[in-house]
Chains A and B, each alone.
Chain A
Amino acid sequence: MENINLTLGILFQLCQSLLVVLLAPLLTGWVNQCRAWLQNRSGPGLLQPFRTLRKLFHKDAVIAYNASPLFRITPYILFGCMWLAAAIIPIIAVDLPFSPAADVIALVGVFALARVFIALAAMDIGTAFGTLGARREMLVSFLAEPALLMVLFTASLISQSTQLPRIVEALAHHQFVLYPSLAFAGLAFVIVLLAENARIPVDNPGTHLELTMIHEAMVLEYSARHLALIEWASSLKLLAYISLGIALFFPHGIAEVGQWGALPLAIAVLLVKLTLAGAGLALLETLLAKMRIFRAPEFLGTAFLLAVLGLLIHFLLGA
């Protein structure tokens, strides 16, 4: 019985790992498509990110003379980190075998690890833009990270655990309760999601103005397969964040490991959630303008404040 459970678990795990890696570019494509529609443009279609990836994988990489091995391995580390993150967040089934490997705090650590490497790689080349981007990335992330932790703590307090499966279980499989503390945490999470994924209003993923870039400035020197992996990792990161949001705030409809029958429904529900989240993100990005970079700390400060309010409400109301 034990063995069967483990095999089933691994099958579910493989299933989710494959799903996220294929779904991530599709989600990015969907967000871009929605943005195009909202601007009266026809848009490049859902599959454009895959075309971009194929194009990049077919190109020859150009690497600066003074690049160290760090510069070369960073794309792989980045991709690995984001894949891992996206694979262990319970979105289609609760008890994945890899999930206990990292609780929510370790998950934040995985994101941080990726960030450290990309920032180091950006400075490794020694161009002004790389350093500029790394500096700005750190400015944004050192404020986003505590806010994210606060959000996760709020959810952990409700379920009395920092293990994601326990949190999801507590929220998904008990009777439907509205948690006011989670409402505040949810708002804070959206702000962190925008900042961490280099979206408007903090950064602009579509810009060609090198002086305004944050994330893009760090990867300006990358090309071909390296750039493809970085782009893919960015898509995976967006997916991971949205999945995390779904797991924390809307986990309903998720399957238990071993329930094959519930799996198609769980995947369908997940797709609907991702579609809605992507459209919502596109709408937000269409409505907002990019803020001055020194407004970003205020913006993320708001996120932190909201998350702390969530915590306080939990202690005061116990909900």
Chain B
Amino acid sequence: MPITYPNLHLTRLGGAIPAWLGEIEPGDLPPICQNVADGGGRLLALWGSDARELGDGFALHVALVNEAGLICLSMALDAVQPVYPDISRIFPAAGRMQRAAYDLLGIYAHEGHDHRKWVRHGAWRGFPLRKDFDAAQNRADEPDAYPFVQVEGQGVHEIPVGPIHAGTIEPGHFRFSVVGEKVLRLEERLGYTHKGIEKRFEGLTLQQGAKLAGRVSGDSTVAYAWAYAMAAESIAAVTPPDQALWLRALFLERERIANHLGDLGDLGNDVALSFGFAQFWILKEQVLRNNAALFGHRYLMDKIIPGGVAADLTEPGRQTLHEECAMLEREVRLLRGIYEEHAGMQDRFIAAGRVEPKLAAQLGLCGLAGRASAQAWDARVQFACAPYDRLDVRMATYRNGDVAARVIVRFDELFESLRLQSEILDHLTHDGELATTLEKLPGNGFGVGMVEGWRGEVLVAIHTDAQGNLTRVHPHDPSWQNWPAVEHAIMGNIVPDFPLINKSFNLSYSGQDL
């Protein structure tokens, strides 16, 4: 049992990762969360669902993680007054998730201290994830007021930035309270790319859902598709063939390689070292072109399907990837030397945007940014699902928590991924089956999948209705946990360092706005 709590009965969920499901009373939620937090565990995701058709009212689902595995807790909420106890005092990251759950489903935290809308932005009235919601009838005319926290004092002023930026990046609003160039406080407002993905999932078939899951956040399409497939396979109790698992790991590592290369280039660009930008992006482009040539899609979209994979690697392809690996290893080692010895660049990186390990633990910082602040979580290591259980993944961690640390972790992970890719290539055979048939899910099922994407752990939870159709799918991006940390990272830094600090996290807007 991952945790012990009186009267808590957990049942092991089938599937690739260690996960348990427990039904609890809402009142038991805070003590259980406290219990997990005290044991070093974290909150992973929080979402609600509408089960009124079954006569159950609403339900709240919370996914916690500790060293034993994933603990999913479900609790039934009243249909008329769907209220549950606030857990944002235990897990600060829960605050925004609770606000989003209210915007979408109308379930709310008792004594929650922030009642501003998070994803709603005044685009609709009512609660879209309720089954009786009619989008056509519920358009709102007025945007919501959104009072930012005011900082007062002599010489303090605000700089509003975004959601439309000077460059082509995703939209988000940042409100800086500054004195001169020094940032006293940053408040983020996201939700500009809310497109109703969770609503769209309702009633889709398993295959349609897989396509949609791969489009939650384009740069993590492999991670989302795998997590979705993992959740579906856990409900259907299906294990994909060996060859498919190796290919999935190959795709995931290639996604990590491409994104780390791109980010390292961007970090060079943000300190105006365009040389680094150009070199890393040439390498990234090479990886993407190889993806397109060998698997049919630059970002490997739709290559992971429930039950297996949709693309195979040929023998010449394997040779190409081996050569690419050697080339990348050589080039990146050279560029790493240049980055590390460039005084001007290191001066910008070191001590910028520091998140101390203690604060990181408190905020539940996860993924790459967490590992740069000594939060040693990597699902490939701790919850090694096949085929990672046959690969010895070395986790890259660093203690400093500044931009330089996140750059170092990126480099380390890049080399590790290249090593893993070589190892995976050696394990691949060419005659294996690519997918187990998985047409339809069983009725009233629940499954979760968790994959260590390049940004952090991506979780997808699937609920099916009596006919086995998707009734509620919740994709969870690691950016939920890490966006609040950016607000802390910038404090005390100067305004012109923000783009660099923000880029060193490189969080997803689309993945958290849904």
Contacts and interface: CB of A to CB of B under 8 A. Distances in A.
Interface of A: 35, 38-41, 128-129, 132, 200-201, 204, 206-213, 216, 220, 286-295
7 contacts: A200-B272, A206-B274, A210-B165, A211-B496, A213-B166, A220-B166, A288-B344
Given A206-B274, A210-B166, A292 B496 contact: yes
Given A200-B272, A201-B272, A128 B344 contact: no
A283 to B, nearest CB: 11
Contacts of B499: 209, 211-212
A295 B494 contact: no
The binding surface of chain A is classed by DSSP as loop
Given A128-B158, A211-B159, 6 more contacts: A132-B495, A207-B272, A212-B270, A216-B166, A292-B496, A294-B494
A294 B493 CA distance: 11
A208 B166 contact: yes
Contacts of B268: 289
Interface in B269-285: 270-275, 277-279, 282
A110 B496 CA distance: 29
A39 B278 CA distance: 6
A39 B279 CA distance: 7
A282 to B, nearest CB: 11
> Which of A39, A206, A213 gathers most chain B CB within 10 Å?
A39
A295 B496 contact: no
B342 interface: yes
A289 B345 contact: yes
A62 B167 CA distance: 19
> Which of A200, A211, A287, A292 gathers most chain B CB within 10 Å?
A211
B271 A211 contact: no
A295 B347 contact: yes
Contacts of B271: 289-290
B196 interface: no
Contact of B167 (A35, A38, A209, A295): A209
A253 B379 CA distance: 69
Contacts of B2: none
B161 to A, nearest CB: 6
B389 interface: no
Contacts of B275: 38-39, 286-287
Contacts of A129: 159
Contacts of B181: 293-294
Contacts of B166: 208-210, 213, 216, 220
B274 A35 contact: yes
Nearest to A209: B499
Which 5 residue pairs of A and B lie closest in terms of their CB atoms, listed nearest first? A208-B167, A290-B272, A289-B344, A39-B278, A209-B499
A213 B498 CA distance: 12
A139 B268 CA distance: 25
Interface string B208-225: 000000000000000000
B28 interface: no
Contacts of A206: 272, 274
Nearest to B352: A292
